[in-house]
A and B are shown apart, each in its own frame.
Chain A
Amino acid sequence: MTTHYLVLSALLFAIGGVGVLVRRNAIVVFMCVELMLNACNLAFVTFARQNGNLDGQLIAFFVMIVAAAEVVIGLAIIVTIFRTRRSASVDDASLLKY
C-alpha cells in the first residue's frame, strides 16, 4: 500500500507550498522550501517501491545533496540581508518594486 505515502508526500508538499506563500520570515519560508524538497524525496522513494526499481532511491540521494548546497547558499544570503536590516521579514525587503 504505497498510496498512503504518496498522499503524505503530497500533503507535505502542499504544506510547504502554502508556508512559502503565507509565512513572513525568510528563514521560515526557506524551511518550507526544504519541506517541499523532502516531500519530493518521499515521493521518489515511494515510486521506487511501486515501480520496483532503485532509481528513485538514488535520486533521493542527489536531492539531499542539492538541498544541502541550497541551505548553505540560502543561509548565507539571508544572514547577509539580516545583518544589514536587522530583520529577516520578507515584507521589509521592498525597495525593488514597480
Chain B
Amino acid sequence: MELYVPILVLAVLAAGFAVFSVGIAPFTGPKRWNRAKLDAYECGIEPTPQPVGGGRFPLKYMITAMLFIVFDIEIIFLYPWAVAFDRLGVFGLVEMVLFIVTVLVAYAYVWRRRGLDWD
C-alpha cells in the first residue's frame, strides 16, 4: 500500500495545480475577449462551421507536422536511457549527448532555413 503513496501525492499535486491555475486566472489575467478566444479550443483550426470531410489544411502545416514527428520521435531513445542512465554511466551519457547533438544539427538547419517561421 505504501508504494502507492507517492503516486497519490503526485495525483493530488497535479489536480491541485490544475484547479489552482484555472481558479486564479480570472482574478489575475488581463481580460481582452474576442470571438476567437470565446470559441471552443481546437489547436489552431476553426471548430465551427465544420467543413465537409474535415476541410483542407494549408500546405505550411506539413512542415510543422514533419518537424514535430522528427523531434517527437527522438524522445523514444531518451526514455530507455533515462530509466537506466545511472547504470549506463559515462558511456551512456556521452552517446546520448552525441545523439542529441546530431538531432540539434538538423534543428539548426531547419531554424536557419526559416522552417520555423510561420509567414
Contact = CB atoms under 8 A, between A and B. Distances in A.
Contacts of A75: 62, 66
Contacts of A1: none
B73 A65 contact: yes
Interface string B64-104: 00100110111011001000000000000000000000000
User: Interface majority SS on B: helix, strand, loop or mixed?
Assistant: helix
A71 interface: yes
Nearest to A60: B76
Contacts of B72: 68
Q: Chain A binding site: helix, strand, loop or mixed by DSSP?
A: helix
A64 interface: yes
Contact of A79 (B62, B69, B76, B77): B62
Interface of B: 59, 62, 66, 69-70, 72-74, 76-77, 80
